[in-house]
Amino acid sequence: MKMCDRDPSVAAGLRACRFWEGSERQARRPAATGVHKRTRGIGAASLLALVFAALVSGCTKTPPASAAARDPIEPKQIRHAADDSVMMVIPATEFLLGTADAHPDLPAGPLVPGKVKPTEVKLARAWADWALEDERPQHAVRLKAFAIDRYEVTNAQYRKFLADVVKNGDARFAHPGQPKGKDHTPRYWKEFNPLLRDPEFTRLAQFTPMTFTGDHTPVVGVDWFDAYAYARWAGKRLPTEAEWELAARGTDGRRWPWGNDWQWGLCNIVGEKLGADVRSQGREKDGYIYPAPVGSFPNGRSPFGCDDMAGNAAEWVGDWYAADSYQAGTADNPPGPQTGGERVVRGGSSQNLPSHVRCAIRARREPDFRTFVLGFRCAKDI
Ligand SMILES: [Ca+2]
């Protein structure tokens, strides 16, 4: 699918959006709503947003106090033996869910002459509007105490789950809506380096056998049913969307896990220059083109001590997605919509831009969608 135009000035970056979109699934999506129809525009505008964000980073309005000063949370961790994981304890609290800013990533400011075309600025601003619609209204939410994985679930952890369900079946853990005959093997454990068969990605790929199977990198290529079953197997559950956001940003409403100001090198996202040659030469500021070992960015840790809440693997959460689910404003332990066609995905990935790894941004995918940027972490009641 040619979802991006051939403008050579943006083509390389647009490939990142295609990674995320998953062309084979895109064509099978249900009848588009007004929100869905705009999906194709994300990629083009995402590149432009990055370019623009980089250009205006020097004029972003900085919040009055440092995030750390306003959010003195003392992270507390526990161990969960069933899947040998570390979990962070999130005490019962109230916080503001969603976004109040009109253009948090594209503040008004002087453009650099000759660097950004007027049409690109327009696209970037339109994209920002789209991205924030479903994050409003920002509203107070109260959550009971819970624990959430410090890290994304790794391949090593997932291997133990897979060995068990291959041997003993998954009947104890499967979601009732799971397709019959479901195979929980991650897509890229079986289908190594599929992108190399696509000439458009040849220079980008550079996968090794460890890219998607390394013990310490997040398991990706898993769908929502895989994530659900793993969580049940481990004696956990998927976090709700609200829980995930609290764990990512704490209680002070910060944009990214470390604070309100964008900084390169605090998480694994797409490269700052977005050129195929730049990517293939490994000159990304964060050091990774694809998934990084979990916990590789300690300075980007969340106030509650969770790692990789911005970027690396994007993460399934438990909720169905609805663009207007914040309108209801459920105040106590919001469970999300009762039904839907897509599940919420949080945190953005190694192929996303700064705006797309904000704590409040809401992505979504069909529950049987698998892509090499999408994994998960688990939560549990305490
Ligand atoms: Ca992540």
* Å from CA of 51 to ligand 1 middle: 22
Distance between CA atoms of residues 279 and 181, nearest Å: 38
DSSP code string of 291-309: PPPTT--GGG--TT--S--
| Mean per-residue pLDDT, 178-201 | 76
Tell me which of 352 and 245 has the higher pLDDT. Answer: 245
> For all residues of the chain together, what is the average pLDDT?
75
Q: Tell me which range, 40-44, 282-286, 298-302, is most confidently predicted by mean pLDDT.
A: 298-302
Distance of CA 164 from the midpoint of ligand 1 (Å):
25
Q: Is 143 helix (H, G, I), strand (E, B) or coil?
A: strand
Q: Is the pLDDT of residue 141 over 90?
A: yes
Cα(111) to ligand 1 centroid in Å equals 31
pLDDT for position 169 = 96
- Which homologous superfamily is 64-98+134-381 in? paralog of FGE (formylglycine-generating enzyme) (3.90.1580.10)
Spell out the domain ranges in the chain.
64-98+134-381
- Prediction pTM value: 0.76
218 C-alpha to center of ligand 1: Å? 9
> What pLDDT is attached to residue 20?
36
65: CA distance to ligand 1 center in Å? 26
Whether the Cβ atoms of residue 270 and residue 353 lie closer than 8 Å to each other: yes
Query: What is the model's pLDDT at position 377?
Result: 98
Counting residues of the chain whose pLDDT is more than 90, the rounded percentage is 51
Lowest-confidence segment of 70-79, 270-279, 341-350 by average pLDDT: 270-279
Q: Does residue 16 or residue 76 have the better pLDDT?
A: 76
Residue 148 has φ and ψ, to the nearest 5°, of -135, 145
Check residues 20 and 141 and name the one with the higher pLDDT. 141
Answer positive or negative: Cα dihedral of 222, 225, 229, 235.
positive
CA of 307 to the centre of ligand 1 (A): 8
Q: Output the CA 118–ligand 1 centroid distance in Å.
A: 33
Using CA atoms, how far apart are residues 250 and 225, in angstroms rounded to an integer? Answer: 28
- Residue 149 Cα to ligand 1 middle (Å): 11
> Span 84-89, mean pLDDT?
97
Q: How confident is the model at residue 240 (pLDDT cuts 50, 70, 90)?
A: very high
Give residue 207's pLDDT: 66
Q: How far is the CA of 19 from the centre of ligand 1 (A)?
A: 16
Q: How far is CA 161 from CA 165, 178, 186, 213, 315, in A?
A: 6, 17, 12, 14, 18
